[in-house]
Amino acid sequence: MKPESLQHARPRLRTGHTYTPNQKHVIFELADGSRQVILPADTASLLPLLDGKHTVPEIIQELMTLEGRAPFRMLFSSLERLQRQNCLDGGDAFLGEVDSKQTEVFERNALWLTRPLFSLPLVSSRPSAQPSVIGFLIAALALVAITLSFFISAYGRGAFSAPSGFLLIDDSYSRGIVFFFAAASLTATLAGLSKALLSTFLTGIRAPLSLELNLYSLAIRSDDAKLYAAGGKTFGTIAAAAVSLAHYLPFVAATLLAPSSRHLTQLLWVSTLILLIDLNPFRKSDLTSYFNSIFNAVNSDLRATDLLPYLKNRGLLAPMQREEKLKNSSIYTAYTVIAILWTMLAYNFALALLTKNDTLLISTFLRSIKNGVWAEAIGALLIFSTIAIGMLYLVFDLAASFYKNFVHPVRSQTLKRAAKKAAKTETIHDAEGLSEQLSELPLFSGVQRDALLFLIGKSTLRSIPKGIRIVVQETASDELYVLLNGTVAVVKRERTGAEVTLARLTAPAIFGENTLLDNAPRSADVAAVTPCQVLAIPRSAIDELQHLTRQNPIFSGDFEHLLDRLTIGQYVSSSELFKDCPKEASSLFLSGGNVVTLPTGQHVIEQGRTDRDFYLILRGSVDVIKNGAHLKTLGQGDFFGEMAMILNSPRTATVLTREPSRFLKISAGDFWIALTQNAGLAIYLETVTTLRLEEAT
């Protein structure tokens, strides 16, 4: 059963090995060698605690005892990386339903063409010898020098000009298919063996090998990623270059053994095609493994999702826009440049082959059909369709990139007009029943029936078709929405065009309240996942209710309750604590809190007590007193009470109200649910808790 939150989660590492290639990093690898996770060196104290027995609060307490601080940043990033690589059980509570299905930053599902139909493990990963940097350098540089010399020589002879009879072997395309399969298998095998050899030299750990069959090859492959991380950026880059050029080893061998063979150009083009597939920057490949390793090694304290592949999910200006959040923006820039070059090279490769061979392939296909030579017809059709599909894939990719980077960011107004046009206004037939529905929601709980009927009378009931944006990011709106039927998704659209689903809401639910008081631009889209029915309550209705409170005391308590809840939304949108938390989703974290009002001089918490509640100051101010001495004054937007909850210890200070004040009181359970859904909140709490621990000592 999935735990409710990290408060009860007991994460457990799957069976594997831990290696320490240098003083900066720790590498965890599954027992079969299929997955590796690069972690900062300070996680060495965390990994033994991931035994399935310790809850996350207990792990934090243990680490605080060892390190003297609340290591939220290290804990959350480590759990995320381990879970994304399927190295962790019991981490679903941290990643959530959507995130747990995602993989590391570049590690997306392979293209259907490259996915293995079956995989047979041949060699498992285990320590075999002492690492040999000298051996690694000799092997890697030799590979680079030898293959590069033959590569340059072939280029000088014009061997890279597209052959007019690509895969026409001895006047037969069916033989060409067999030639391609054999050449691709040999190319991938030699590249995989080279990768395993270099990894063994550099790490001293025997790299895992498996026999994989896919649609174009049967090859011995190695998915070992330690090679790119163990020696840092420099050795990782050398390794990546050597493995890439190792794809040309069959061409080198054929040139030495049969320099006059008329199939050398064919072999060169097949090797280049396999290299392009293995370096696909948009899918899981050797290139993405390399960048993943380098990124995680350099940016060990950042979430991997801060760096996503160029074009597919990020815009052309992303390096400048996100530079302040990346410790090493050169990695992003390098990836961007390589992705552009790969796209241009792959497109020109496919275009050259198609323009040089289309007439011959089509004529061969038609002639073979006429003569009943079905093997040749199938061979010609298969080669032509594969090249054409490759072209279409690249064209689609470029079109999607243009849409993401240029069309998508400026379509907010179009979405808003479409939403207005698609929404249908309905008549409210049962206001009494609707008021009962509203009274069950936290925002309206405690509000009297007459006040609810007043708001309903001023509101609009709308039916929304599936796929329509009810709320559009970056546009102003003066309405609060109550979801009565259906399901909606809260979607954050980045400046670069990326879309991230933050949450799903199922009726009954409320959204749009955070920006209601100040009529600020919406911070996320809310899209109908299914046909929905929503009640839109305008800001003017809230203002009228406030006016009524001055004339009719009966309504005063109702408005105060609504104002408290709306103020919480404003608090979330402006507080430093929630600065990185999207407004449209952050109020979900606080929906279980209770608003508490206390007069001047009242104890909120007392030193030595063992209660575990966490407090946010909505209005007013408090004094923090320890052992009778005044430590500090906290005001609106501040918080307190987190240390006793995190450390599971008695209160370290007394907090007194300095003036009449209102607080949002959050229980330990709700607190941990909040941390479960917002790593940025935990990281900020780590900083504050560390400072307060220093003050306490």
pLDDT tens for residues 429-461? 888 888 888 887 767 766 778 878 888 888 999
| Residue whose C-alpha is closest to residue 384's, from 406, 369, 364 | 364
CATH code assigned at 624: 2.60.120.10
Residue 249 lies in a domain: yes
Please indicate, yes or no, whether residues 91 and 170 belong to a single structural domain of this protein: no
Confidence of residue 285 (pLDDT cuts 50, 70, 90): confident
Say what the pTM is: 0.61
Give the mean pLDDT of 149-155. Answer: 86
Return the pLDDT at 559: 59
**By mean pLDDT, which of 6-15, 452-461, 548-557 is the weakest?**
548-557
Please indicate, yes or no, whether residues 574 and 597 belong to a single structural domain of this protein: no
509, amino acid identity:
A
pLDDT at 676 over 70: no
More reliable by pLDDT, 662 or 591: 662
Angle, in degrees to the nearest 10, between helices 329-371 and 286-298: 170
Return the pLDDT at 69: 61
Q: Phi, psi at residue 551, to the nearest 5°?
A: -100, -30
Domain end, chosen from 368, 389, 409, is at: 409
pLDDT at 59 over 70: yes
pLDDT at 188 over 90: yes
3-state secondary structure string across 327-343: CCHHHHHHHHHHHHHHH
Return the pLDDT at 669: 72
Please indicate, yes or no, whether residues 139 and 128 belong to a single structural domain of this protein: yes
| Residue whose C-alpha is closest to residue 105's, from 230, 288, 260, 264 | 288
pLDDT tens for residues 459-511? 999 999 998 888 888 777 778 888 899 999 888 766 545 566 777 888 888 88
Domain end, chosen from 545, 566, 587, is at: 587
Give the whole-number percent of the chain exceeding pLDDT 90.
Answer: 21
Return the pLDDT at 611: 83
Residue 5 lies in a domain: no
Please indicate, yes or no, whether residues 433 and 404 belong to a single structural domain of this protein: no
More reliable by pLDDT, 469 or 417: 469
Residue 151 lies in a domain: yes
* 512/472 Cα distance (integer angstroms): 10
Cis peptide before 508 (omega within 30 of 0): yes
Supply the mean pLDDT for the chain: 77
Confidence of residue 622 (pLDDT cuts 50, 70, 90): very high
Q: How many domains would you assign to the chain?
A: 4
Return the pLDDT at 324: 38
Please indicate, yes or no, whether residues 681 and 606 belong to a single structural domain of this protein: yes
CATH code assigned at 74: 3.90.930
Residue 108 lies in a domain: no
pLDDT at 360 over 60: yes
Quote the domain boundaries for residue 502: 413-587
**Burial class of residue 608, CB neighbours in 10 A (0-12, 13-18, 19+):** exposed
68, amino acid identity:
G
∠ Cα 420 426 428 (to 5°):
135
Return the pLDDT at 140: 94
Residue 110 lies in a domain: no
Please indicate, yes or no, whether residues 156 and 262 belong to a single structural domain of this protein: yes
| Residue whose C-alpha is closest to residue 30's, from 97, 89, 106, 114 | 89
Name, of 157-171, 359-373, 496-510, 666-680, the range with top average pLDDT. Answer: 359-373
Please indicate, yes or no, whether residues 292 and 193 belong to a single structural domain of this protein: yes
Domain end, chosen from 355, 384, 409, is at: 409
Give the mean pLDDT of 560-575. Answer: 60
Please indicate, yes or no, whether residues 152 and 92 belong to a single structural domain of this protein: no
Residue 111 lies in a domain: no
Please indicate, yes or no, whether residues 266 and 361 belong to a single structural domain of this protein: yes
CA distances from 345 to 105, 315, 340, 570, 634 (A): 24, 20, 9, 50, 59
More reliable by pLDDT, 319 or 485: 485
C-alpha radius of gyration, the chain, whole number:
31
pLDDT at 257 over 70: yes
Query: 109: which DSSP letter?
Result: P
* 20/18 Cα distance (integer angstroms): 7
pLDDT at 252 over 70: yes
Give the mean pLDDT of 57-80. Answer: 74
Return the pLDDT at 423: 84
DSSP letter string over 523-571?
SSEEEESS-EEEEEEEHHHHHHHHHHHHH-GGGHHHHHHHHHHHHHHHH
Residue 105 lies in a domain: no
pLDDT tens for residues 106-139? 455 666 677 888 889 898 877 777 788 899 999 9
The number of residues making up the chain comes to 697
Return the pLDDT at 318: 37
Return the pLDDT at 110: 63
Name, of 32-41, 213-222, 608-617, the range with top average pLDDT. Answer: 213-222
Please indicate, yes or no, whether residues 545 and 598 belong to a single structural domain of this protein: no
Please indicate, yes or no, whether residues 161 and 209 belong to a single structural domain of this protein: yes
More reliable by pLDDT, 426 or 594: 426
Please indicate, yes or no, whether residues 277 and 394 belong to a single structural domain of this protein: yes
Residue 7 lies in a domain: no
